Amino acid sequence: MDDNVFFFDLEWVLRLASHAAVTPSSGPCNEHPDGECPGSLLWVSDDTGVYLESNGLPAAEFGPGTSSLIYARGWEPGGEHQDPDSPFDGGFVSPLHLRSATEPATALLKRMRASGFRFMYLRLPDDDVIEVGFAESAELHPQRPVTAEEVARRRQTLIENMRATADGGKFTIMNIHADSELPTSMLYTVGLTAAGQPELLTVGLAVDVAHHILNDLGESIRAGERRLHHAQVLTDVLDGFDVCVIEADMHLPGRLVPGMAYEVFGRRNVRLQQIVWPDALHQFPWDSGFDSGLVQPVIGRPAMR
């Protein structure tokens, strides 16, 4: 493998990039040493390895035991490419800008979402250039442009796989990353419709927490152990807090649309329930005292039905 090419798990890079794109402030970088470096990832080499981190503030948190540093494949602590004689063990910090002052999400972030690959790579063809690309495996093969037909084929394969998963009595959890239209992450299930139940949605929770909630609820629903209804309060889902189930039978607001569920089952066949969480003072988004610094768009309110 070319030691000037570094492969990063794209799913985790997207989590970092989404954090960097929406955080209210950021730290400095070597290009902006006296001020903020907005909307950027930092590519770092130090004595632990080679990794990416978000430059956004507050710092990224992915849950207990989960690092907010995304190490390059083989360059993690103790990795196969760690070499005292390597120039990348000498230390550097280089920003990867995701946006400008006039553009909330640049082409790089959009390319990440649209690539359909497993890895993002950074390559140094010379000292002054950073090449960003995408690959299916952690090695480079001769690359060719991805055609519109291939993108459509991959999407159709994904839909067919999700349909087969639902037919097999299981479900998939989709993670929609933050962007300029939806400034926080959204996760939803695809498969509960096959059991005659609404799909589940969370917005604004940490991805690992949201995934855990949807997985536990989805499993109990598919097993016939639980049924949820509009305005129901659940006390056993989020430690220390109640959550509220909201169902919408109206036009869904903004980006809160379970697009892949529509693709798999047809829009008319899909119902949606949102698991709505409270702030630290147990206030919900429809309460007047809800923390205005939190982002949690909702598909309805308890009294709407």
pLDDT in tens, 130-151: 778 888 887 765 545 557 787 7
DSSP output for 53-85: EE-EESPP--STT--S-EEPTT-STT-TT--TT
Give the integer Cα–Cα distance in Å for 55 and 75.
Answer: 20
Question: What's the pLDDT at 169?
Answer: 92
Q: Minimum mean pLDDT among 28-42, 169-183, 250-264: which range? A: 28-42
pLDDT band at 203 (very low <50, low <70, confident <90, very high): very high
- Name the residue among 285, 281, 291, 185 with its Cα closest to residue 241: 281
What's the whole-model pTM score? 0.58
**Is residue 58 reached through a cis peptide bond, with omega within 30 degrees of 0 on the bond before it?**
yes
SS3 of residue 131 by DSSP: strand
Summarize pLDDT for 253-298 with one digit per residue, the tens: 667 889 899 999 999 999 999 999 999 999 999 999 999 888 899 9
The residues near 167 (Cβ < 8 Å, ≥ 6 apart) are 194
- Judged against a pLDDT cut of 80, whether residue 90 lies above it is answered with no
- Judged against a pLDDT cut of 70, whether residue 102 lies above it is answered with no
Task: Work out the average pLDDT over 65-83.
Answer: 75
- Average pLDDT of the chain is 80
The residues near 63 (Cβ < 8 Å, ≥ 6 apart) are 206, 207, 208, 209
Give the integer Cα–Cα distance in Å for 210 and 205.
Answer: 6
CB of 228 closer than 8 Å to CB of 218: no
- Under DSSP, the state recorded for 255 is T
- Judged against a pLDDT cut of 60, whether residue 106 lies above it is answered with no
Alpha helices per DSSP H over the chain: 10-22, 107-114, 148-167, 207-222, 259-265
Give the integer Cα–Cα distance in Å for 97 and 170.
Answer: 39
Give the integer Cα–Cα distance in Å for 83 and 290.
Answer: 51
Give the integer Cα–Cα distance in Å for 247 and 176.
Answer: 20
% of the chain at pLDDT higher than 90: 31
Beta-bridge mates of residue 276: 244
Apex 241 CA angle, 235 and 242, nearest 5: 40
DSSP output for 237-251: EETTEEEEEEEE-SP
Beta-bridge mates of residue 140: none
